[in-house]
Amino acid sequence: MRYINGGCPLSEDEIDAALARQRRNASELGYCMGALVEKATGQVVGVAGMQPLGTTGDLEIGWWLAPRVWGRGYATEAGGAAKSHVFEYLGRKRVVAIIDPPNEPSKRVALRLGLRFERRATGEELGHRLPDIVVDLFGLET
């Protein structure tokens, strides 16, 4: 959680709110951030998917993995699937990712997927529910 939620683990209430938000996105929009299941073991090893980015109108793709499965390419594989879903299934022309500036491993995932650094932005500028965050915005257009 070092680079997520201002470095603070989510409280039980925040986890409930996050799950409710994703359930709402799944039913109202047809997509969400979801469980990432390792095929070989059937275990949940992370979270990946897509969600609207604040009030920008863009769709954000994201990846969180359990530390024990870092370094295997899973985030790149899942992020690539999310990117394809945004472009090919949802027919969007643009996809973005927001990353805490010091989070180098996550930036490498974004770059491997072809996204490029656009600018540093605050949550407030993006209409994000956390106005105080400062993130690097990566984007890719078809």
Ligand X SMILES: CC(C)(COP(=O)(O)OP(=O)(O)OC[C@H]1O[C@@H](n2cnc3c(N)ncnc32)[C@H](O)[C@@H]1OP(=O)(O)O)[C@@H](O)C(=O)NCCC(=O)NCCS
Task: Kindly list the residues in this chain that would bind ligand X in the complex (CB under 6 A).
Answer: 3-4, 62-65, 70-76, 99, 103, 105-106, 108-109
Nearer of residues 57 and 73 to ligand X, judged by Cβ: 73
Place of tokens 């470095």: 7
Q: Are 96 and 115 in contact (CB under 8 A)?
A: yes
Nearer of residues 91 and 126 to ligand X, judged by Cβ: 126
Side-chain half-sphere exposure of 38, counting CA atoms within 13 A: 14
Nearer of residues 59 and 91 to ligand X, judged by Cβ: 59
Nearer of residues 31 and 63 to ligand X, judged by Cβ: 63
Burial of 120 (0-12, 13-18, 19+ CB in 10 A): exposed
List the end-to-end C-alpha distance of the chain, in Å, as a whole number: 31
Q: How far is the CB of 118 from ligand X (least distance, A)?
A: 15
Q: How far is the CB of 55 from ligand X (least distance, A)?
A: 19
Q: How far is the CB of 21 from ligand X (least distance, A)?
A: 16
Q: How far is the CB of 83 from ligand X (least distance, A)?
A: 13
Q: Which residue is nearest to ligand X (CB)?
A: 73
Closest CA to 22 of 13, 14, 32: 32
DSSP 58: P
